[in-house]
Amino acid sequence: MFNKILIANRGEIACRIITTARKMGVKTVAVYSDADKQARHVKMADEAVHLGPSPSRESYLVSEKVIAAAKQTGAEAIHPGYGFLSENAEFCRLCEQENITFIGPPVAAIEAMGSKSAAKNIMEKAKVPLVPGYHGDEQSLEVIKQAADEMGYPVLLKAAAGGGGKGMRQIWHSDEFAEGFDAVKREALSSFGDDHLLVEKYLTAPRHVEIQVFCDSHGNAVYLFERDCSVQRRHQKVIEEAPAFAMPEALRQHMGEAAIKSAQAIGYVGAGTVEFLLNPNHENLEQSEFYFMEMNTRLQVEHPVTEMITGEDLVEWQLKVAAGQLLPKKQAQLSMTGHAFEARIYAEDPNNDFLPATGKLNYLNAPAESRFVRVDTGVEQGDEVSVFYDPMIAKLIVWDENRQRALTRLKQALTQYQVQGVTTNIEFLYNLANSEAFANEQIDTGFIEKHHDSLFPANNTLNANQTKIAAIKSALAFVVHNMQQQVKQSPWSQNTGFRLNQKNTLDVELKLDSTNDDVDFNRILLEFVKNQDGEYIFDVTFDSDVSTCQCSAMLQQQQLITTINGHHCSSTAVFENDLQTVHLFGEQGAFTFNRKTPDFGEASDSNANAGLTAPMNGTMVNVLVEANEQVKEGQALVIMEAMKMEHTIRAPKDGTVTALFYQAGDMVSGGAELIGFEAIDA
């Protein structure tokens, strides 16, 4: 076994690898960029080496710097994690030349699967079933479009060297093909340095099922069952589960054997994942058809669900196989128990097409870990989610004896995951896990689009009673916090609502931070009754209700303990914005309330600036219009790239472009005006 390994990655996967290496007595070396100087993986490792500036192309993606760090520290092997250099054949070759073990497959296997086109040719010869499509060398728009036209729409355009949902676009009609073709080429070149494309028939309601395979250098191969990864947005997985639901044993075995055949066709060694599209035959599931999609020559993001049901440590297996050892188990020795889910906690805005978010993690509280709950993360409270890397905060993994119980665990854990400072997808994940269709296994790759209205709270009527209770709790939090602070100062600075010969009443007016326009200001009157052992007691009137309720509240740091008409419960209250905003976390979910401030007529006119602004920091990829050009509503104006994704800015309505402020290649700050735009009055 190795004495020391270098981890050529960052974030949660670097921390994950360090955890196993430490358990095995293997020392670790972390690498880091300027942005990651104080990162969790740097603190966890035995040693750490600085690679360079924050952009990954100047640090984590520079093979020579990573190799130099390994030689400097005496690391015998390099674990690439996933992403970055994990599927880079040249990096693998460079490790070989420097006599450093690459903890992954051989160069030939990476090259074989590195191109989706070449991979499909290999699988075709190995008689692994393929989705109909074109994956030839001729790359002109005319040839690829002709293949798409002959197949019939919809089709899927994909970067041949792609992965992780990048460089991929659904094309629904022939007249959309040229725009999609250009966009995928740009994304492919930007993300992978290769703009080679393929096109295949887009199955409208398939499931995405992948098989975890493992091979050693002695000719042994096993599959560690399957994962269902059908719930996706922008072709990136959201919630994964293992084993796949509604999977007959005969079909599982058939797919597992096909996966091993795929791996052996390229002389594979190490951990890999063979991804299939499963076209379910609901009348007879055993006769369902499946098609090879791609093989990922690395450890997958969702590998923890496989670990939870098998009890195996896949990183430990990787180190042993890379060290030349036999696979720890044979196929007959592998078994699975129970069911596991993984939810990816991201800094992103689901209500804005899952736009990645940046910011500081001012408050971060994850659910307690146990044999049922696991949290893989690379961040801590106070860390920054930067524009330079993937915005994943953590992976939340749960396990229980069956799917129903595991799903209950997932919902409970999501209510306990509390993040403030950046917009997250936690509420969306809870809505998804709580969806009746998800519970009933009515799942395919179009799940989010099909169930859009039930998954996005902006389109739902909020539960009035829950909102009312949350508003009362928030008002209590504001007032009690204020009273606690004022008690510490002089009596003349107190703001407790005391009035001579009048009731001691405080008037709090709140606005729920929500995109639901039906939720208006909530006026809450709190009449102070008494203070007893740190507990403040009030008679509360909500809005125009005639009846009042008796409430009490205690605030101990961020723990808010309330009793409303005898109902005792605990929540977490996090204040910001000079105590004008409170984020309330509890069993009923997360709420944000803002105190209404007086309007002195100083608010700016929101329509004063009619220009279009950058949604976040990024790079201008292309400017598609000219100054003084008239455009139609929905027309693409500019294309930005941020956090490894392209974002197309479109005209909000018919109008005229009055000015252009950036050109292709320019760096753009979030909120910056991109285009001067004047709408045409109807």
Q: Is 657 helix (H, G, I), strand (E, B) or coil?
A: strand
Strands (E), 380-463: 384-385, 392-400, 418-420
Which residue out of 298, 344, 374, 409 is catalytically annotated? 298
Q: Hey, how many other C-beta atoms are within 10 angstroms of the C-beta on 577?
A: 9
φ, ψ for residue 612, nearest 5 deg: -100, 135
Query: What sign results for the dihedral spanned by CA atoms 168, 17, 225, 337?
Result: negative
> For 510-572, what is the HEC assignment?
EEECCCCCCCCCEEEEEEEEEEECCEEEEEEEECCCCCCEEEEEEEECCEEEEEECCEEEEEE
Extract the tokens encoding 105. 């497959």
Separation between Cα atoms, residue 326 and residue 51, nearest integer Å:
34
Separation between Cα atoms, residue 391 and residue 616, nearest integer Å:
13
- Asked whether the beta carbons of 510 and 475 are under 8 A apart, the reply is yes
- Asked whether the beta carbons of 115 and 108 are under 8 A apart, the reply is no
Q: Nearest CA to 110 among 133, 94, 128?
A: 94
Extract the tokens encoding 481. 């916090």
Q: Which residues pair with 170 in a beta bridge?
A: 156
Question: What b/e string do you get for 4-37 counting C-beta neighbours within 10 Å, with b at 16 or more?
Answer: bbbbbbbbbbbbbbbebbeeeebbbbbbbbebbe
Q: Is 660 helix (H, G, I), strand (E, B) or coil?
A: strand
Extract the tokens encoding 293. 């999609």
Q: Is 110 helix (H, G, I), strand (E, B) or coil?
A: helix
Work out the burial of residue 571: count CB atoms within 10 Å of its CB; fewer than 13 is exposed, 13-18 middle, 19 or more buried: buried
Helix crossing, 89-97 with 107-114: angle to 10°? Answer: 170
Chain centroid to Cα 383, Å, comes to 17
**HSE value, Cβ hemisphere, 13 Å, CA-based, for 219:** 0
Q: Is 298 a catalytic residue?
A: yes
φ, ψ for residue 54, nearest 5 deg: -65, -40
- Omega cis (within 30) before 132: no
Query: Helix H segments across 311-402?
Result: 314-322
Q: Is 376 helix (H, G, I), strand (E, B) or coil?
A: strand
Extract the tokens encoding 267. 């002389």
Q: Nearest CA to 533 among 558, 552, 551, 549?
A: 552
Report the length, in residues, of the chain. Answer: 682
Strands (E), 428-502: none
Q: Hey, how many other C-beta atoms are within 10 angstroms of the C-beta on 629?
A: 14
Query: What sign results for the dihedral spanned by CA atoms 406, 408, 411, 414?
Result: negative
φ, ψ for residue 532, nearest 5 deg: -135, 110
Question: What b/e string do you get for 549-566 counting C-beta neighbours within 10 Å, with b at 16 or more?
Answer: eebbbbbeebebbbbbee
Q: Which residues are designated catalytic?
A: 298
